Amino acid sequence: MAKKVEVRIKRQKDNQAEPYWEEFHVDYQPNMNVITLLQEIQRNPVTVQGEKTTPVAWDCSCLEEICGACTMVINGQVQQSCSALVDNLEQPIVLEPMRKFPIVRDLLVDRTRMFEALKKVKAWIPIDGTYDLGAGPKQSQTNQQEMYLYSRCMTCGCCVDACPQYTPDNSFVGPAALGQVFLFNQNPTGKFNKEERLAAIMGDGGIQECGNAQNCVRVCPKEIPLTTGIAKLNGATLSQALKNLLKK
């Protein structure tokens, strides 16, 4: 008989419903990931008790850990389910939705708040226009390499899921958005609007909410040095605050 993989999944019919658990046994295949488990359940939605159930709802798209969609809590650890290989996981494999966002259904959550935070901190470069205005500013290889680390943020939500200061009912923008402030304030053109972005993180829900637990940097799948960026931003907001004071 084929080797089976044991999976326990926390399910919830909709935003208002009570959560419940279901267990499945899925045929093992070498090198399979959690996505394959969920796909196999779609093809045969029957629990370990032999009861027919609905396929499990979850979010996914690229399956290469570059889009950030398929994030969930696997054996207690927040991560992308595409790069979670079954061989590396203890069984039963326990799948739960992310913990800080409203649940849409089963493993699928609504991460709108993270995108709103990017709006709030003005995470963009205000270019003059899309016309042919010639080359951009020169940049050193070192600066490019440092910025590239931060520009790979997928807004997947691992960092905010792990952050003790980010709760479903507060207004903290979270480490991902702070990382983006650091990124844009480093950019040769982005620097021009540095103060605007700093102001955005100096109010309610801003950088002072960070408790320096350092969970964010530990769970980031792209190994973004979030705490380094946040520490440097801390310095920048302090001197900005001082400047503001002197201006008065």
Partner 1 sequence: MAKPKFLVVGGGLAGLMTVIKLAEEGHHVDVFSVVPVKRSHSVCAQGGINGAVNTKGEGDSPDIHFYDTVKGGDFLAHQAFCKDMCYKAPAVIYLMDRMGVTFNRTPEGLLDFRRFGGTLYNRTAFAGATTGQQLLYALDEQVRRYEAAGLVKKYENLEYLGMVKDEQGQCRGIVTVNLDSLEIQSFRGDAVVLATGGPGLVFGRSTNSMINTGSAASSAYQQGVKYANGEFVQIHPTAIPGYDKLRLMSESARGEGGRIWVPKKKGDERELRQIPEEDRWYFLEEKYPRFGNLVPRDIAAQEIYDVCVNKGMGIGGGHMVCLDLTHIPREELNRKLGGIMEIYEKFVGDDPRDIPMKIFPAVHYSMGGLWVDYEKTPDGLLDPQSPRNHMTNIPGLYAVGEVDYQYHGANRLGANSLLSCLTGGLVCGPAMAEYAAGMNGSAEDSSSRLFEEEEKKWQERFEALKDMKGDENPFKLHQELGEMMIRNCTIVRNNKDLQETVDALDDFTARWKNCDSLDAGKARNQSVLFINHLWNMIELAKVVAKGALMRDECRGSHLKPDFKLEQPKDQESPEYQEYLKTWHEQNDKWLKTTIAEWSEKGPQISYEPVDTSLIEPVPRRYD
C-beta of residue 236 within 8 angstroms of C-beta of residue 185 = yes
Nearer to partner 1, 60 or 158 (CB): 60
The single-letter code of the amino acid at 118 is: L
Q: Give residues with Cβ within 8 angstroms of 44, minimum separation 6.
A: none
Taking the complex as a whole, the smallest distance from the CB of residue 73 to partner 1 amounts, in Å, to 18
Taking the complex as a whole, the smallest distance from the CB of residue 174 to partner 1 amounts, in Å, to 15
Residue numbers of the site for partner 1 (CB under 8 A)?
13-15, 29, 31-33, 35-36, 39, 42-45, 54-55, 57, 60-69, 82-83, 85, 104-106, 108, 111, 115, 118-119, 122-127, 129-130, 132-136, 138-141, 144-145, 147-148, 151-152, 154-155, 184, 187, 189-190
Place of tokens 């979010």: 59
How far is the C-alpha of 192 from the C-alpha of 67, rounded, in Å?
29
How far is the C-alpha of 113 from the C-alpha of 102, rounded, in Å?
10
Nearer to partner 1, 199 or 213 (CB): 199
CA angle 57, 63, 66 (to 5 degrees): 115
Taking the complex as a whole, the smallest distance from the CB of residue 210 to partner 1 amounts, in Å, to 23
Cα dist from 219 to 122, 183, 216, whole Å: 25, 19, 6
Taking the complex as a whole, the smallest distance from the CB of residue 171 to partner 1 amounts, in Å, to 17
Taking the complex as a whole, the smallest distance from the CB of residue 2 to partner 1 amounts, in Å, to 14
Nearer to partner 1, 131 or 246 (CB): 131
Nearer to partner 1, 20 or 241 (CB): 20
Nearer to partner 1, 138 or 248 (CB): 138
Taking the complex as a whole, the smallest distance from the CB of residue 204 to partner 1 amounts, in Å, to 18
Count of Cβ atoms closer than 10 Å to residue 44 Cβ:
11
Nearer to partner 1, 135 or 245 (CB): 135
Q: What is the DSSP letter of 157?
A: -
In this structure, the dihedral spanned by the alpha carbons of residues 77, 81, 85 and 86, taken in order and rounded to 10 degrees, is: 80
Strands 77-80 and 108-109: unpaired
Nearer to partner 1, 119 or 243 (CB): 119
Taking the complex as a whole, the smallest distance from the CB of residue 246 to partner 1 amounts, in Å, to 30
C-beta of residue 163 within 8 angstroms of C-beta of residue 215 = yes
